[in-house]
Structure 1
Amino acid sequence: MTTEELLAGLIRVNLVGGLAVLAVLALRIPFRRMFGPELAYGLWAAPPLAAFATLLPARTEDGADARSFIAATVADQSGALLVLWIVGFAAVFAGLALAQKRFMDAVKRGTAGPSVVGVIAPRIVMPGDDGTYSEEERALIRAHEREHVSRMDPRAGALASALQALCWFNPLVHLGAHVLRLDQELACDAAVLRRRPSARALYARTLLKTQLASQPLPFGCYWPACGPHPLEVRIGLLRAPHNDNYGLTGSCLIAAGLIVMAYMGWRLNPPVPPPAPMVELWRLNTGPTMSVMLVPAPGKAV
């Protein structure tokens, strides 16, 4: 793969992924109202699916250009653009690693939590047992964090952080990663209360007691604090009547939407010309033909 092709693929991933993020931002609230937060959270699988679909082998089409428009556009500055992307990627990744280290330092001091840290082997971080929470409230906190682990939410958050570093120049990717974490917490709340419907009031009081995270956790799960609005949304959904529309209709709509997004991402990939026909060549001996004739010796049979 040439530098031009690498940059062209990166630009296609960002364009298609950004369009998919806009689509999810438009659909997430209607889907949440119709089918609940758990299924609505599944919409966030669309942006990475659509983005990675652009990396699949492109369709062939007679008369298509062998070189895409994007590759031709970046051809003259491909080296400088690649260096710029590497520098930006390294800077964003270093920032994520520093944020993770700061959070882990707070965990060691006992000032962080509740949260789930880690990707391959996630572990639950509980707040200190200083009498702030009752045993019932601490049980709800543990149930919430265990739900994150069982749903593999830390891996989804890590993928979002990796895409932020990969697509560091795309503001839609950063916005999508932030809203994904909000929807992730709403889905986890709904999953916990679906199993404990009588604990709705206690759950709301526990949320009001919980100290919101003041610093990001790139590789894990936490409730991002950016003013009162996210907490208001979370408490508001707890007050809303329970939505039991977790049936086949919502799942089929989500699955169909993901398939359509992936297909559109692949379809937006520019076509390439069909490969030249394979012609099998045979080596022919064009030299003079030599004939050999056996002549029997006198008195001997051949």
Structure 2
Amino acid sequence: MTDWLIAQQGVLSAALLFLLLAERFLTKRMGAVGTYALWLLVPLTLIANNLPFDIVAVESTSITRFVVGMTPNIASNDINILFSVWAIGASAITSFILVHHFYTWHSISRQKAIHTDAYYSSKAATPMLFGFIAPKVLLPYSFKSVFSQSQQSLVLEHETMHQKQFDHVWNTLALVLAAMFWFNPLIWLALKSFRINQELACDYHVLKNKSEVERITYAKALVQCAEACSKNITLYPTFGEKTTMMKRLNAIKQPASGNRLIAAAALSIATLFMANTVLANAPQAEIKKASAKINEAWPTKRIEPNYPEKAIEENIEGYVVLEFDITETGATDNIQVVQSSPKGVFDKNALAAFKQWEYKPAINNGKGVRQQGLLVQLDFKLAPEPLNANASSKM
């Protein structure tokens, strides 16, 4: 898992940097809707970087030898520290998201707010679209006392527009990616920029056919929401987020018409980036010849076979030679006994243990490469071996 996460960081970071710059410098030039659409680059890039190409197999004819003693022991690197750290961080963020969602859900009033399709909630400091699957518009209890009827209509139209744009789906995906790639600081900067583009795009759709008076009314409602906005962390876009207020007010004051040339250039860059990602991971004719030297096949998780009791009692030693594959993720596969001595004495225990071994997968252009036809010899010894007994040797 850690190898896969690390393999995604190059293309992911490049895509996020491009989008951060686009939100900062291109929003006024190509329009809020166009800039918001560019965020599709993130999931599409991850998909392109993980397309299931038929990878050319790496073959090996060398035999790596390990000594099996009477006392089983697990290799010291059995514990993957990096994976543990990642799992703790991802679990903590996921737990926070679920707890926050649970408390917000329980704060929702059972009945809809009068004359609206929204619900009151004690957790909603300002109007917001809440939910991952079946979203609801939530309103603070002060909604009707704070806003005029015209403002109420515009605010509700804004939240409904979020739902029409399927923003609850995109926000859910954004939170999943944030939890998965939490260790990359760019993911958190990008999450903020993504939300800004989302709000600006929604504002544009609401105001594009509105009069100047309605635009001013909308801007005043935005300021009123920002004044009442809670300082607590929220996982959902709210109408009056202070961090995005000034950009939204400026966009209302000076709406961007959108430059088609700049939009076409940005789209071309995104398309070329994706195409390069796909081509970089495509199989190449030279892989088979060169990839044998990518990395030595050495286990990262080693489970010692149990020494058969009958063999101990009869003072029997021997060996088992196994042929196997290493998958793209480092697991052992297609294991079979090719030679053993004495025949049938150690085979069963050797197979049972070796199925649990894990290897560092061969990596080519950020993708795991299946290695086929590798050989390993497990030497079952009753007596202690010299210090260099565990070293690999070619036969």
Mark yes or no: TM-score above 0.5. yes
Contact 1:12–1:269 (CA under 8 A) maintained in structure 2: no
Equivalent position to 1:266, from 272, 275, 278: 278
Equivalent position to 1:123, from 131, 136, 158: 136
TM-score by length of 1: 0.73
For residue 52 of structure 2, what is the aligned residue in structure 1?
Answer: 57
Do residues 256 (structure 1) and 268 (structure 2) align?
yes
Do residues 41 (structure 1) and 29 (structure 2) align?
no
Do residues 183 (structure 1) and 197 (structure 2) align?
yes
**3-state SS of paired residue (2:129):** strand
**3-state SS of paired residue (1:116):** strand
**3-state SS of paired residue (1:124):** strand
Q: Which amino acid aligns with 1:184?
A: Q
For residue 98 of structure 2, what is the aligned residue in structure 1?
Answer: 97
**3-state SS of paired residue (1:50):** helix
Between structures 1 and 2, the one with greater helix share: 1
Contact 1:164–1:173 (CA under 8 A) maintained in structure 2: yes
**3-state SS of paired residue (2:145):** coil
* Runs of at least 5 residues in structure 2 that lack an aligned partner in the other structure: 60-76, 110-120, 290-395
**3-state SS of paired residue (1:154):** helix
Do the aligned partners of residues 86 and 187 (structure 1) sit closer, same or farther apart at CA in structure 2, a change above 3 Å counting? same
For residue 220 of structure 2, what is the aligned residue in structure 1?
Answer: 205
1:146, distance to aligned residue in structure 2 (A):
0.6
1:191, distance to aligned residue in structure 2 (A):
1.1
C-alpha separation in 2, matches of 1:137 and 1:8: 51
For residue 292 of structure 1, what is the aligned residue in structure 2?
Answer: none
Q: Which amino acid aligns with 1:212?
A: C
For residue 88 of structure 2, what is the aligned residue in structure 1?
Answer: 87
C-alpha separation in 2, matches of 1:216 and 1:104: 16
C-alpha separation in 2, matches of 1:159 and 1:60: 29
Do the aligned partners of residues 257 and 119 (structure 1) sit closer, same or farther apart at CA in structure 2, a change above 3 Å counting? farther
Q: Which amino acid aligns with 2:205?
A: A
* Runs of at least 5 residues in structure 1 that lack an aligned partner in the other structure: 1-5, 67-75, 276-302
Equivalent position to 1:159, from 160, 163, 173: 173
C-alpha separation in 1, matches of 2:10 and 2:275: 15
Do residues 216 (structure 1) and 211 (structure 2) align?
no
User: May I ask how many residue pairs the two structures share in their alignment?
Assistant: 255
**Deviations, residues 241-294 of structure 1 (Å, cap 9, x unaligned):** x333386x566545434322322333454856359xxxxxxxxxxxxxxxxxxx
TM-score by length of 2: 0.57
Contact 2:28–2:258 (CA under 8 A) maintained in structure 1: no
**3-state SS of paired residue (1:243):** coil
Do the aligned partners of residues 49 and 224 (structure 1) sit closer, same or farther apart at CA in structure 2, a change above 3 Å counting? farther
C-alpha separation in 1, matches of 2:269 and 2:238: 28
Q: Which amino acid aligns with 1:163?
A: L
C-alpha separation in 2, matches of 1:41 and 1:268: 27
Contact 1:148–1:154 (CA under 8 A) maintained in structure 2: yes
C-alpha separation in 2, matches of 1:57 and 1:141: 45
Do residues 232 (structure 1) and 246 (structure 2) align?
yes
**3-state SS of paired residue (2:80):** helix
Contact 1:12–1:51 (CA under 8 A) maintained in structure 2: no
1:170, distance to aligned residue in structure 2 (A):
0.8
**3-state SS of paired residue (2:182):** coil
Task: Pick 1 or 2: higher relative contact order, CA cutoff 8 A, min separation 6.
Answer: 1
Contact 2:223–2:240 (CA under 8 A) maintained in structure 1: no
**3-state SS of paired residue (2:137):** strand
Contact 1:20–1:46 (CA under 8 A) maintained in structure 2: yes
How do 1:101-112 and structure 2 match up within 5 A? 101-105=102-106, 107-108=108-109, 109-112=121-124
1:171, distance to aligned residue in structure 2 (A):
0.8
Identity of aligned residues (%): 23
Do residues 139 (structure 1) and 147 (structure 2) align?
no
Between structures 1 and 2, the one with greater strand share: 2
Detail structure 1 runs of 4+ shifted over 6 Å in the superposition: none
